[in-house]
Amino acid sequence: MRFHQLGTSLLVFFLASFALNLKADNDCLRCHSNQTHTIYNDWTERNEKRLMNPYYILDSLKIKAGVHGSFGCIDCHSSDYETYPHQGELKLEPLMTCIDCHGGDENFADYKFEQIEEEFGKSIHAKALGEIFTCSKCHNQHYYQAKARTSESVRDIVKFSNEMCISCHDNTSKYHLMSDSLNPKLVDTHDWLPNQKLHFENVRCIECHTQIKDSLMISHNILPKEKALKLCVECHTANSHLNASLYKYKNIQARSEKGNVGIILANKSYVIGAYQNEILNLLSMIILISVIACIIIHSFFRIIKK
Amino acid sequence: MSNEGKIYLYPIWLRIWHTINALGILVLIYTGLNMQFAKPGFELLRFDLAVSLHNFAGITVAISYLIFFIGNLITTNKKYYRIKPKGLRKRLLKQLRFYVYGMFKNEEIPYPISVKRKFNPVQKYTYVAVMYLMVPIIIITGIALLFPETIIEDVYNMSGIFITAILHSIVGFIISIFLIIHLYFATIGKKPYSNFKSIVTGWH
């Protein structure tokens, strides 16, 4: 009987905390997922509708789809946000970094957060900007998805990854949060690249702009622009650089289970030079050798029968 | 040099087209192989240069194909390409038998060249297949690859670019094999160099 009571109490407690948590999130997102919010103005003693600061508007669906989708807002933000109007100084609260939660956690050992931090330390972002360049500058905690591990589509992985880079490098105001220099125009600086659009859609910026680290799923050592890969043949060859970066995801290969051809087909990509079909190569070699052999034999008979 | 006893087989427009086509195709094969089998440190031609040259030669060959196509529409040259299905198999076998057996026994040429008949049956139908099937396929797929955004993204869950590129490479290979055989058969003339001379002067 007592056991039954305990179980009921636990269930009630769980449901109550779940409901409260949900309510808290809904309370936040009620304003923060809308263009406008209503505020009671003590001075005029009226409810007034105001525009929401666009930088503080969140996409609730994208939050739910993200890796932190099950989190409550105050799991990361101060619980003081529960009062409204929010206190001004809350804007300056130091937020947790990825390592604060994920560092040393066995559950995330596979992600190698410590090694990522070490590699990032060598990157141009860390060298040029130091500690102000936090993980969240690229990895938006609200929406982040582990695409490279979950998506079956290379195009999808590429899009998600490149959006991280261009969120600053193609956005002058965000770029100037980090740097006072002029934001280089991506289309102009990459004008040497043939089929630029196709490259941008099918390979990630990090393919050429990072130093590959075999033990890491995604290289975090972003190189200075002078050291970026610029030799076409590094990717456009049988032993393509892409095999060690974009196409190295074992999960994609395992999921497709169609062999080498299947991977390429399933991922809807074709790279000149990198795609080598052994059967076609062998067949073409056999045909070529046969033709040459026939010509030699024919010539031989032409000479001796002259 | 006298042209007595000779027939004028290759008009000037045809010879110009043939020259542009021949040079273009040689460049295309060379640059195509360079792209398909490129390796770092082993590039006979820099990759980006191979791409640019391949594009340039491809466009040139495509335009020159128009010369061939229109020339064959408006001149009498078209009669040499007319398909006659009746007895086709027999004619082809007769010519092939000559190539593998008859010519070594000094048999008479079964289909001697004349103003009425520029090509023997094997030549004729190979040229028809190459010029009216293979070359159009390689030009269409080539133009598509030049403007990849025009290619349908998914074709029955396969990449459109992949299918286009594979088809382009396979047909490119077939045309390369045709070129080797074409060059070899050209040596089967009165003298090994006679036919090469003919395509330059026009007189056979």
Mean pLDDT value of segment B3-24: 86
- Contact between A265 and B157 using a beta-carbon 8 Å cutoff: yes
Residue B196: what pLDDT?
87
Q: ipTM value of the model?
A: 0.87
Residue A215: what pLDDT?
80
Tens-place pLDDT, residues A83-106? 888 898 998 988 888 888 888 888
Q: Chain A: residue nearest B168 by CA?
A: A272
Residue A273 CA neighbour count, 13 Å, CB half = 25
Give residue A124's pLDDT band: very low, low, confident or very high (50, 70, 90): very high
Sequence letter at residue A293: A
Give residue A251's pLDDT band: very low, low, confident or very high (50, 70, 90): very low
Structure tokens at B99: 């190539």
Greater model confidence, B132 or A148 = B132
Sequence letter at residue A61: L
Mean pLDDT value of segment A23-44: 83
Task: Calculate Rg over the CA atoms of chain B.
Answer: 19
- Indicate the SS3 state at residue A167: helix
Residue A107: what pLDDT?
86
Q: Which range has the top average pLDDT, A15-24, A138-147, A242-251, B109-118?
A: A138-147
Q: What residues does each domain of chain B span?
A: 12-201
- Contact between A270 and B159 using a beta-carbon 8 Å cutoff: yes
Give residue B2's pLDDT band: very low, low, confident or very high (50, 70, 90): low
Tens-place pLDDT, residues A275-295? 778 888 999 999 999 999 999
A200/A277 Cα distance (integer angstroms):
25
Residue B4: what pLDDT?
63
A275 interaction partners in chain B (CB closer than 8 Å): 162, 165
Mean pLDDT value of segment A207-218: 85
Average pLDDT value over all residues in chain B: 87
Is the bond into A85 cis (omega within 30 degrees of 0)? yes
pLDDT at residue A218 tops 80: yes
Structure tokens at B48: 């980006």
B76 to chain A, minimum CA–CA distance in Å?
A: 33
Q: In which residue are the tokens 């003081």 written?
A: A80
Q: Does B33 touch chain A (CB under 8 A)?
A: no
Torsion of CA B123, B127, B128, B131, to 10 degrees: 180
B173 vs A284, A299, A301: nearest CB? A284
Q: Chain A: residue nearest B145 by CA?
A: A195
Comparing C-alpha atoms, which of B36, B49, B28, B45 is closest to residue B138? B28
Q: Does A237 touch chain B (CB under 8 A)?
A: yes
Structure tokens at B187: 């040596």
Residue A268: what pLDDT?
52
A303/A77 Cα distance (integer angstroms):
90
Q: What is the value of pTM for the model shown?
A: 0.74
Mean pLDDT value of segment A160-187: 89
pLDDT at residue A22 tops 50: no
Residues 6 or more apart from B115 whose CB is under 8 A from it?
A: B7, B9
A301 interaction partners in chain B (CB closer than 8 Å): 104
Judged on CB neighbours under 10 Å (0-12, 13-18, 19+), A107 is exposed
Tens-place pLDDT, residues B27-53? 999 999 998 888 887 778 888 889 899
- Does domain B12-201 fall under CATH 3.40.50? My reply is no
A125 to chain B, minimum CA–CA distance in Å?
A: 29
pLDDT at residue A259 tops 60: no
Residue A297: what pLDDT?
94
End-to-end, the C-alpha distance of chain A in Å comes to: 112
Residue A7: what pLDDT?
62
Judged on CB neighbours under 10 Å (0-12, 13-18, 19+), B35 is buried
Tens-place pLDDT, residues A223-247? 999 999 888 888 888 777 777 777 7
Q: For the stretch A1-33, what's the b/e string if a residue is b when 16 or more beta carbons lie within 10 angstroms of its beta carbon?
A: eeeeeeeeeeeeeeeeeeeebeebbeebbebbe
Q: Are strands B154-155 and A36-41 parallel, antiparallel or unpaired?
A: unpaired
Comparing C-alpha atoms, which of A220, A245, A229 is closest to residue A125? A220
Q: In which residue are the tokens 């102009």 written?
A: A188
Helix (H) or strand (E) holding B204: none
Residues 6 or more apart from A208 whose CB is under 8 A from it?
A: A228, A229, A230
Q: What percent of chain A has pLDDT over 90?
A: 33
pLDDT at residue B125 tops 60: yes
Q: Are A246 and A158 in contact (CB under 8 A)?
A: yes
